[in-house]
């Protein structure tokens, strides 16, 4: 039987997220593999894969807050806002670690971001990066994102200072845009020279397997995969008896009295197996995903 569950991979630099998915499809002998949020080729770190029925649950992982450790070079801008792009602007910046740290506070909470042209967002039915490849640039409406934590980790002085920072942010946040916006607030520009995703919700890169280990050990997928319920550790959960479990496995619409929840909730049987994800919708409790 093909592997099923969640696989935490430490993506190496130079790999696209699709490269990782394609490799794991071969290793696990299944086409049913997806991921919970793209990492740019330059970036490293946590990529959460879903195999088998877990592909239907990836959206619940993707919606969780994400933690990154980033390195930005101030004073130099590129068209992609990262080191893979073409330099478009260069102007020395006279800043200190103290001024950079002070500039971070206004970016906490709800902020607006203009997505970079080299992103997969669709406007007018076309992905921005496809337009960028043709040399086109269009107006992009700002998008609301949330910054939960933002911390300066290190500062290397110079005409083109290097800034290391840690950020915990909502899904959909562009860290390269954040770095450039921080530099703009200080009168300059910036681009990312390093990015590592360390956490999605409570899933941490320390628990991930490296790609070279997976490739070297074809049984690695089987031995490192997380059960369906383990991958949804950030969701509320409720355990039901066999009678209610049978109804839930058939996707029955329930009353709040039968299943007292008020947010997306993982429903488990008495053996700890994930049956479904249900959520409250006004006076009813309805299935989001049924795994039976």
Please state the domain extents for the chain.
5-64+202-231, 66-200, 236-290
pLDDT tens track for 95-105: 999 999 999 99
Q: What is the rounded average pLDDT for all residues in the chain? A: 94
- What is the spatial distance between Cα 204 and Cα 6, in angstroms, rounded to a whole number? 13
- Which member of 40, 82, 180, 181 is catalytic? 40
Counting residues of the chain whose pLDDT is more than 70, the rounded percentage is: 99
pLDDT for 143 beyond 70: yes
pLDDT for 1 beyond 60: no
pLDDT tens track for 65-86: 999 999 999 999 999 999 999 9
Predicted pLDDT of residue 221 = 78
pLDDT tens track for 176-225: 999 999 999 999 999 999 999 999 999 999 999 999 999 888 776 777 89
pLDDT tens track for 34-69: 999 899 999 999 999 999 999 999 999 999 999 999
- What is the spatial distance between Cα 206 and Cα 221, in angstroms, rounded to a whole number? 16
Task: Report the pLDDT averaged over residues 21-30.
Answer: 93
Of residues 72 and 133, more confidently modeled: 72
pLDDT for 2 beyond 80: no
Predicted pLDDT of residue 75 = 98
b/e code 180-205 from CB counts within 10 Å (16+ = b): bbbbeebebbbbbbbbbbbbbbebeb
Bridge-based pairing state of the strands 122-123 and 236-239: unpaired
pLDDT for 163 beyond 90: yes
Q: Which CATH architecture has domain 236-290?
A: Roll (2.30)
Of residues 166 and 140, more confidently modeled: 166
- What is the spatial distance between Cα 167 and Cα 147, in angstroms, rounded to a whole number? 7
Q: Do domains 5-64+202-231 and 236-290 have the same CATH topology?
A: no
- What is the spatial distance between Cα 81 and Cα 195, in angstroms, rounded to a whole number? 12
Counting Cβ atoms within 10 Å, is residue 168 exposed (0-12), middle (13-18) or buried (19+)?
A: middle
Write phi, then psi, for 109 (nearest 5 degrees).
Answer: 90, -155
Predicted pLDDT of residue 186 = 98
CATH class in words for 5-64+202-231: alpha beta
Predicted pLDDT of residue 215 = 87
Handedness of CA 204, 169, 291, 56 (dihedral sign): negative
pLDDT for 118 beyond 90: no
14 backbone φψ class: left, alpha, beta (φ>0; ψ -120 to 50)? left
206 tagged catalytic: no
Q: Select the CATH number that applies to the domain covering 66-200 from these four: 3.30.2350.10, 3.90.1300.10, 3.40.50.20, 1.10.390.10.
A: 3.30.2350.10
Provide the 3-class DSSP secondary structure of residue 126.
strand
- What is the spatial distance between Cα 130 and Cα 99, in angstroms, rounded to a whole number? 37
Q: How far is CA 36 from CA 66, 168, 233, 234, 269, in A?
A: 11, 16, 14, 14, 25
């Amino acid at each position: 039987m093909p592997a099923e569950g969640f696989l935490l991979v430490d993506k190496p630099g130079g790999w696209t997220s699709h490269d990782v998915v394609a490799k794991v499809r071969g290793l696990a002998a299944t086409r049913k593999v997806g991921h919970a949020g793209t990492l740019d080729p330059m970036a490293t770190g946590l990529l959460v894969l879903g195999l088998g029925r877990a592909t239907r649950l990836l959206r619940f992982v993707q919606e969780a807050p994400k933690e990154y450790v980033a390195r930005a070079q101030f004073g130099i801008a590129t068209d992609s806002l990262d080191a893979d792009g073409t330099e478009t602007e260069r102007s020395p910046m006279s800043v200190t670690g103290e001024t950079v740290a002070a500039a971070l506070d206004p970016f906490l909470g709800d902020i607006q971001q203009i997505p970079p042209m080299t992103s997969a967002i669709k406007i007018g039915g076309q992905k921005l990066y496809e337009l960028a490849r043709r040399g086109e640039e269009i107006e992009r409406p700002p998008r609301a994102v949330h910054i939960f934590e933002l911390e300066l980790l290190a500062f290397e002085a110079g005409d083109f200072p290097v800034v290391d920072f840690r950020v915990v942010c909502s899904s959909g946040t562009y860290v390269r845009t954040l770095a450039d916006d921080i530099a703009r607030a200080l009168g300059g520009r910036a681009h990312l020279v390093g990015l590592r995703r360390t956490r999605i919700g409570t899933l941490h890169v320390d628990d991930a397997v490296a790609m070279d280990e997976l490739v070297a050990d074809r049984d690695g997928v089987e031995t490192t995969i997380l059960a369906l319920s383990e991958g949804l550790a950030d969701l509320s959960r409720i355990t039901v008896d066999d009678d209610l479990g049978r109804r839930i496995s058939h996707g029955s619409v329930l009353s709040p009295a039968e299943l007292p929840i008020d947010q997306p909730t993982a429903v488990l049987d008495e053996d700890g197996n994930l049956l479904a994800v249900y959520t409250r919708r006004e006076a009813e409790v309805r299935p989001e995903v049924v795994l039976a």
